[in-house]
Structure 1
Amino acid sequence: MTFLTKATTLTAALLLTACAHHNNVRPSSDGNHYIDLYGETKSDVSEKAFDQAKSYCKESKSTPYVVSENVDYIGNMDEEDYLTKRNIAKAVEAAGTAMWIFGRSHVDDAGAALSIGGDIAGDSLGHPYQLHLVFNCG
């Protein structure tokens, strides 16, 4: 696989996951709308929820205003242990991806295995952050 093919495939995959929608928004007749999401990190789940709120409000040409936002860690291991393991999995995935893209011969094969293995390890840790967002469109 050539460098350009690998880079194009990786870029396409990233772009497909970056689309903002609002399929988790639960509208309410009182003007407040609700989103419940699970994510890998506090910032990740907050960002995704707010992106959905913006997408939802954009349909009525308005702006989202946060009423309340609660993010709780609900994982089955200590939060510090989770974050350490997640960081290790991400580092292995990143190193493997670099080896896969820039390596030659057996190096890119090992890089592919590391990249996929790091991704699997990260996914196995789950999405232990639970967010509940209340917002309205103004």
Structure 2
Amino acid sequence: MTFLTKTTTLAAALLLTACAHHQNVRPSSDGNHYVDLYGETKTEVSKQAFKQAKSYCKESKSKPYVVSEKVDYIGNMSEQDYLTKRNIADAVEAAGTAMWIFGRSHVDDAGAALSIGGDIAGDALGDPYQLHLVFNCG
């Protein structure tokens, strides 16, 4: 695979995963709306929920105002063990991706395997953070 082909493939994959609207927003008649999501990290799940709130409010040409936000860890291992394993999986995936993009011959093959393996390991850890966001549009 050439560098351009690899870069194009990765860019296309990122674009496909970047599309988000507000499929998890649950409107309410009292003006407060709800988003319940699960995610890999507290930061990721919080960003995704607020992004959906923004998208929802944008339809009425308004902005979201957070009423409350609660994130809980609900994983089946200790949170510290989860974070350690998540960091290892992310590091393996990143190293593999770099090898895949910049490597030659067997190095890029090994990089591809590492990148995919790190991604699979990360996915196997699941989405142990549960977020409940309450917001209104103003």
TM range (shorter): over 0.9
TM-score, normalised by the number of residues in structure 1: 0.99
SS in 2 for 1:35: strand
Of 45-54 and 6-15, more deviation after overlay is shown by: 6-15
1:73 to 2:73 alignment:
yes
**CA RMSD, Structure 1 to Structure 2 (Å):** 0.5
SS in 1 for 2:126: coil
What residue identity is the alignment partner of 1:135? F
What residue identity is the alignment partner of 2:85? K
Q: How does 1:1-138 map to 2 (within 5 A)?
A: 1-138=1-138
Q: Following the alignment from structure 2 to structure 1, what is the Cα–Cα distance between the partners of residues 20 and 116?
A: 25
SS in 2 for 1:98: helix
SS in 1 for 2:34: strand
SS in 1 for 2:19: coil
Q: Following the alignment from structure 1 to structure 2, what is the Cα–Cα distance between the partners of residues 86 and 33?
A: 31
TM-score, normalised by the number of residues in structure 2: 0.99
Q: CA deviation at 1:20?
A: 2.7
Q: Following the alignment from structure 1 to structure 2, what is the Cα–Cα distance between the partners of residues 120 and 15?
A: 20
The runs of 5 or more residues in structure 1 that have no matched partner are none
The runs of 5 or more residues in structure 2 that have no matched partner are none
SS in 2 for 1:29: coil
Of 10-19 and 57-66, more deviation after overlay is shown by: 10-19
Q: CA deviation at 1:12?
A: 1.2
Q: Hey, which bits of structure 1, 4+ residues long, moved more than 3 A? A: none
What residue identity is the alignment partner of 2:95? A
Q: Following the alignment from structure 1 to structure 2, what is the Cα–Cα distance between the partners of residues 109 and 46?
A: 35
What residue identity is the alignment partner of 1:129? Y
Q: Following the alignment from structure 1 to structure 2, what is the Cα–Cα distance between the partners of residues 64 and 20?
A: 16
Q: Following the alignment from structure 2 to structure 1, what is the Cα–Cα distance between the partners of residues 120 and 31?
A: 40
What residue identity is the alignment partner of 2:47? E
1:97-126 Cα distance to aligned partner (Å, 9 max, x none): 010111111111100000000000000000
